[in-house]
Amino acid sequence: MGNFPDADAQARVRLFASASSWIEGAARLQLQQLAGRPGMLAVAGMPDLHPGHHGPVGCAALARGVVFPEIIGTDIGCGMQFWPLDLPERRLKRDKAVERLAALEGVWEGDARALLAEHGVDAGAHADQIGTVGGGNHFCEVQAVETLVDAAAGMAAGLAPGGLALLVHSGSRGFGAEVRARHHVDGTAGLALEGAGADYLADHDAALRYARLNRRVIAWRALQAVRADGEERIDSPHNLAERQGDLVLHRKGAAPSDRGLVPVPGSRGTLTYLVEPLAPPDGALSSLAHGAGRKHDRASMSGRMRAAAGSLDRLIRTPLGGHVICTDRQLLMEEAPDAYKDIDKVVADLEAKGLARVVAVLRPVLTFKTARIRREQDRRGR
């Protein structure tokens, strides 16, 4: 991806971000290079756009007759799942919930293979990972309803003033990585849709189902931990390929805007916005931002956090009064709120560009990341 894009490729790009948004030059270049791939018809960048390993994160790309597995990446089906709870914030026993949420690190005690088989998924050895959050930016978060901007729409979604909700961010774990490895492609040519591309999409769709089930089981486990009942209202994947006849719509870190309400989280120290998609403007490819997007890469965050006075003390306590459940100091620094863009500006861009309107605002209360400390060799291999 080192070539500079030609004028035709640049004409296929739409960037839905204001001039004041933090969009790195490398991300803009990756977006334009993506538009230059064979069969590519249009590319849309969202206001959370940032550079990725095999192309930009925070984008959608429409191609004819070809699918690009490396655009989607290894975490096929990664996304957000949203569950309003029947428990008000005032009745949440935080200390007990913190202790019990740590159990999410362990293996789910249910029958994972039977659950997957019920949904037509054979994940092999990866079945045992169902119900686990994983690493990186994944999380399971108890959130409090801060504001109902549209009371009617918020209450229709199961929210109430003073209430709680659960937001789960995870994907297909090792199963998605296996699918990606099975359909590895060198270079940027992709897979022909009729043939190898169709084979990839069949396995990809199984990983999508796995990812949704994984989020659902995580939510079940979290409900037990906080002693609440809830209902799955939203499941919004943001790493996926969607076939539309001879076209394939790729989304990498971009939420679909044609499936109802979308949660757009910031970081563990900032607010989450629940938004209603609007009729998409030309070139938006029925997509929205999936979150704040990274501002600083993981490799640089350790130095940034160590250089900030008192920074480590605030890693597990957020400015909004939330508590982070994470025993991995390195991961705490890599995923610190400072690593992410300003979610308020990202959402303001969504509104200004006519992509979405805010329905509700939620505040992080308890954020589970991991109770496992990574080994040094794991860190070097990331």
Residues serving a catalytic function are: 290
What whole-number distance in Å separates Cα of residue 356 and Cα of residue 378? 39
CA separation for the pair 342, 377 (Å, rounded): 32
Q: What are 342's two structure tokens? A: 């300003």
Other CB atoms closer than 10 Å to residue 103's CB: what's the count?
Answer: 15
> What's at 341, amino acid-wise?
K
Region of 314 (left: φ > 0; alpha: ψ -120 to 50; beta: rest) is alpha
CA atoms within 13 A of residue 269's CA, in its CB half-sphere? 17
CA distance 341 to 347: 11
- Rounded Cα distance between 342 and 292, Å, is 6
Q: CA angle, 327 as apex, 144 and 84 as ends, to 5°? A: 20
Integer Cα distance of 340 and 343 in angstroms: 8
Please tell me what DSSP assigns to residue 193: I
Query: How many Cβ atoms from other residues are within 10 Å of residue 221's Cβ?
Result: 23
What is the distance between the alpha carbons of residues 328 and 152, in angstroms, rounded to a whole number? 41
Longest dimension (CA), the chain: 59
27 and 56 Cβ atoms separated by less than 8 Å:
yes
Specify the residue for token string 């959370």. Answer: 48
